[in-house]
Amino acid sequence: MDEKAKQTKNSKKRKRAVMRTTILAILIAAIGYTIYNSATAEDVTVLKVGDKAPNFTLVDLEGENHKLSDYEGQGVFLNFWGTWCKPCAKEMPAMDRQYEVFTNQGVQVLAVNIAQSDFEVQSFADQYGLSFPVVIDKTKSVMTAYNIRPLPTTVLVNPEGNIQRIITGEMTEQDIEGFMEEIKPD
Amino acid sequence: MEKLQCQCGHINPPGTNLCESCGRSLTEKEQNSKLVDMRYEGTARRSQTYNKSIIDKIWNFFSSVKVGVGIIVLLLVAAAIGTILPQKAFVPANTEATIKEYYADTYGVVGQIYHALGFHDLYSSFWFIILVGMLAISLIIASLDRFVPLYKSLKNQRVLRHPSFMDKQRIYAEGPGAEDTLKKAEEKLSELKYKVRTDKNGLLAEKGRFSRWGPYVNHIGLIIFLFGVMLRMMPGFYIDESLWIREGETRAIPEVPGYYLENKNFELENYSGEGGEEIFGEALDRVGTVAKNYQTDIVLYKKKEDALPGAVDGQEVVKEYPIRVNQPLKFAGYAIYQMDFRLDELKAMTFSFINKETEESFGELTIDLIDPKKDYELDNGASVKLIGYYPDFSGFENGEPQTATPLPNNPGFLVKLFTPDTPEGETSFITIKNTVEPLGENEYKLAFQSVETRDVSGLTVRKDSTLPILGLGGLIFMIGVAQGMYFNHRRFWIQQKTDGTILLAGHTNKNWFGLKKDLNQVVEYASLPAYTDQQDEIEKQEKAEKEGEVLS
C-alpha cells in the first residue's frame, strides 16, 4: 500500500473510532441519566437543602398573619405537626423551652398544623402552654409546597431565607438546641 | 482482514459476499451455492469489517441481531417474573422499610429475594432500565451497521452485472433475442412505473426501493418511543398522584402548584330497576347492586397572582365541574379522574341533654366533628362545654385520652355539662359505645340521637407530557411496518450479448408472485426468453430426491 492510501486508511480509522465512541457515549449517558432520575424520583424533592424556602402566609390562633418573608434576617424553625402524632407532641415542650432561649437571639419558631380544627389545635396549645405561634394550614397548600410527607417534619430556614436542613422524625432537646444554634443570625 | 479485490478490478471492504460493482461471488460459500444470498445486497456489515479497539468490540457486540434478540428475551422473562408477586404500588405499605417487611412477612424468603433484586418495582429497578437501554443501543447500532452499507450499495448500483451474478438470481432466463428486445423491454417496464437505466448492452429496472428502508424507519419509531418512556422518569413529565378529598374540603392539588380543588358533593347512584330501567330488573335481581354513576362535584380554584400559599383570600374560581368516571376534569395539561370513594364518614353527631332519672330534656346539640365549637347553649339555662375532642379515640395513656389519626373514625368527647342545678358542671367522657363519668356519678347525660355523614372521593391527578412523543414513535413505527410490508423492492437486470443472446434476472425482497406478474407482461411484449424460478426448481429437485430415497 502506498503512503497516500495508508493515510486515508488511518484518517478513516480515526473517524470511525471518534464516531463510534461519541454514539456509545451519548447512549450510555442517556441510560445513566435515566437511572439517576428513577433513583431520585422516590423523594420528589421539589425542595432541597440550599433552595429558597417557598414563601407562604398562614394565620395563627390569635388571628395574626405570619408571612415567612417577614422573618428574613432571622432563623426560622418551621415545624409541621398534628395533634394526633405522638412524636410531634413529645418534641413540643422541648421546642418551647429552646424557643424561650433563642427567641431573643433572632430565631423564630412557627408550628404548622396540618388542616385540623381550631378547637383541637387550641386545646393542644393550651394544654402544652406553647408560647410560639401555632398556625393552621387549612388547605394543605403549604404542606404541598414543601412536599411534606411524614409528620413531624422540621424545615430549618436560615436568615437568608434558604433551607438549611430538613429533619423528618422526632428530635431530642439537644437536637433542637443544635438546630437553633445553626440558624441563629450572626 | 484484508480488502477483497474482485476479478473486475473493484476493491471491496473485507467481509463482502458479492462484489459491489459487478456482483461476482467473492466467498467460497457464495461461489458454491446455486442462488446468491441477496440480504443487504451481499455487502459487508460494517461491524464485521473491523474488530480492533475496545470500542469496536462493544460496537460489534451490539450490532449482532442475536444479542438484540437475547436482550428482548431477557426483558420478557424479567417482565413475566415481575407479575408473579404484586408490584410495590399494590401492597398495603408505603415506606421503604414497611414495603420490605411486607414482602418478607407475606412471601417469606422468596419475597425477600424478590424485593432484594428489585422485582417489586420492576420498571424502576436499575438493571431493568439498563436492559431497556441496551435494547435501544442494539437497535441503533444494528440499524446503522446495516443501513449505511445497504444504502450506499443501492445508491451506487451498476447497470451491468457479471453473468455469474445473474444466473444465481432466483428468477433467471437465457435465450435468443431480437434487435429491439432491449428497447421494447425498456418501454414496457417504464409503463409499469419502473425506473429504467441503461448502459451499453444492458438495462436495470427498479421499483419501490424505499420499501427496503422500512425496518430502519420502524426502528427509528421504536427509539422515539423508548425516548418518550425515558422522559417519563424525568421530573415534571409524568404525574400520577392520588388525592382523597372529603365533601366540604378544599385542598391544594398535589404536584399541581397553585391549584386547589373543593369537593362540593360526592354521589354514588345505583340502578334502581324502576322507571325505564325495568329491563335491568332481572340482571339486578341476579347480581345485586350495580353502580350507575360515580360523581364528584368540584370547584377548581387557581391561586391569584402574587398570592402566597395559605393566604385566605388568595384563590379565584376557575370552574365548576362534575367529575365522573371517564369524564375527567381537564385544565392546564392536567386531568383529574374519579377513581375511588368511601361512603359515610362521620361528620356531625347530635345528642340530647337529659336528666338521667326523669329523662327531662334540655334540648339537643350537634357537635361538628370536622370543626367543633367550644361552647353550646341549650334550653332553660343548660350549656355544654367541650374540653377535649379525640376524633379517632384509641384509649387512655397516663389518664389522657388519645387519638390515633385526625379522622373522625371513633370520636371521643370530654365535656362538661352545666344546668342551673349543677353550676359547677359535671364531667363526662363520651364515645360511640359508652359514656364514662371520671369524676363521680352525674345527674345529667348526653344521649346519642343521630349522626350526619359525608363521603370521601378518591381522585387521581394525571399529567403525561410524553404522550405526543409516544404517539409519534408509534406512528413512525407503523409507517415503517407498512413501508416494509406493503411495498416491494423489485429489480430486473437484462443484458444482450453480442451474439444476440438475452440474459434476464429478477429479484424482489418479497412478493415473488407480484414480480412474476410484472415480468410476464414484459416477456410477452418484448418477446424475452421464458424464465424459470430457480428456487422452485431446487425445491422440486429436493422433493424428488427425497421421494426417490423413500422408494429405494
> Is A67 found in the same domain as A17?
no
- How many angstroms away from the CA of B10 is the closest CA of chain A? 15
Alpha-carbon gap, residue B177 to B203, rounded angstroms: 14
A15 — pLDDT class (breaks 50, 70, 90): confident
Q: Does the pLDDT at position A46 exceed 80?
A: no
Q: What percent of chain B has pLDDT over 90?
A: 53
A27 and A111 together in one domain:
no
In a domain, A17, yes or no: yes
Mean pLDDT of chain B: 89
Give the separation between CA B475 and CA B482, rounded to whole angstroms: 11
- How much is the pLDDT for A8? 77
Tell me how far apart the alpha carbons of residues A171 and A79 are, in angstroms, rounded to a whole number.
11
pLDDT score of A41 more than 70: no
Q: Find the range with the poorest average confidence among A120-129, B156-165, B329-338, B516-525.
A: B156-165
Domain ranges of chain B: 1-42, 45-153, 169-197+489-546, 214-233+468-485, 238-343+458-462, 346-453
- Inspect the interface and report whether the beta carbons of A117 and B372 lie closer than 8 Å: yes
B-contacting residues in A 94-133 (Cβ below 8 Å): 114-120, 123
The Cβ of residue B225 has, within 10 Å, a number of other Cβ atoms equal to: 21
> Would the pLDDT of B511 be above 70?
yes
Do A69 and A148 reside in the same domain of the chain?
yes
Within 8 A of B129 by CB-CB distance, chain A residues are: 31, 34-35, 38
* Calpha distance B216→B146 (Å, rounded): 9
Mean pLDDT throughout B268-279?
Answer: 82
Question: Is residue B47 predicted with pLDDT exceeding 80?
Answer: no
With cut-offs at 50, 70 and 90, classify the pLDDT of residue B285: confident
B372 in contact with chain A, both atoms CB, cutoff 8 A: yes
Interface of B with A in 276-335 (CB under 8 A): 308-312
* A90 and A33 share one domain: no
Size of interface A-B (CB pairs under 8 A): 123
- The reply to whether B371 touches chain A by the CB within 8 Å rule is yes
R_g of chain B computed on alpha carbons? 41
Is B50 a residue whose pLDDT tops 70?
no
Name chain A contacts of B59, Cβ cutoff 8 Å.
20, 24
pLDDT single digits (tens) B354-396: 998 888 899 999 999 999 999 999 988 899 999 999 999 998 8
| Domain interval for residue A82 | 57-183
A178 and A137, same domain (yes or no): yes
Dist CA A158 CA A50 (whole Å): 9
- If contacts are CB pairs under 8 Å, which of residues 151-170 in chain B contact chain A? none
pLDDT tens profile B444-481: 999 999 999 999 999 999 999 999 999 999 999 999 99
How many domains does the structure of chain A reveal? 2
Taking the CA of residue A178 and the nearest CA in chain B, the distance in Å comes to: 28
A62 and A36 in a common domain: no
In a shared domain, residues A77 and A32: no
Query: Is there a contact between B233 and A34 if contact means CB atoms under 8 Å apart?
Result: yes
Task: Using an 8 Å CB-CB cutoff, list chain B residues near A67.
Answer: 308
Residues of A in contact with B230 (CB under 8 A): 30, 34
The yes/no answer to whether this complex scores an ipTM above 0.85 is no
Q: Which residue of A has its CA nearest to B131?
A: A31
Band the pLDDT of A22: cuts 50, 70, 90.
Answer: very high
Q: Would you state the pLDDT for residue A17?
A: 84
Same domain? A35 vs A104: no
Contact (CB, 8 A) for B407 and B390 = no
d(C-alpha B44, C-alpha B2), whole Å: 13
* Range of lowest pLDDT (A88-92, B137-141, B248-252, B305-309): B305-309
Residues B169-220: tens digit of each pLDDT: 999 999 988 888 889 999 999 999 999 999 888 999 999 999 999 999 999 9
In the predicted model, what is the mean pLDDT of residues A76-95? 93
Q: What is the C-alpha radius of gyration for chain A, rounded to an integer number of angstroms?
A: 26
Q: Does A141 touch chain B (CB under 8 A)?
A: yes
With contacts defined as CB-CB under 8 Å, which chain A residues touch B388? 123
Distance CA B459, CA B19 (A): 66
Task: Decide if B170 contacts B29 (C-beta within 8 A).
Answer: no
**Do β-strands B412-418 and B383-390 pair in parallel, antiparallel, or remain unpaired?**
antiparallel
Q: How far is A63 from chain B (nearest CA, A)?
A: 12
In a domain, A51, yes or no: no
The CATH topology of domain B169-197+489-546 is Alpha-Beta Plaits (3.30.70)
| Domain identity same for A7 and A70 | no
CB nearest to B252's CB, from A44, A57, A139: A139
Quick check: B25 contacting A, CB < 8 Å? no
Using left for φ > 0, alpha for ψ between -120 and 50, and beta otherwise, residue B354 falls in beta
Residues A147 and A75 placed together within one structural domain of the fold: yes
Asked whether residue A114 is assigned to any structural domain, the reply reads yes
- Flag whether A49 is in a domain: no
- CB-based contacts of B318, cutoff 8 Å, min separation 6: B259, B300, B301, B302, B331
**In the predicted model, what is the mean pLDDT of residues B153-160?**
89
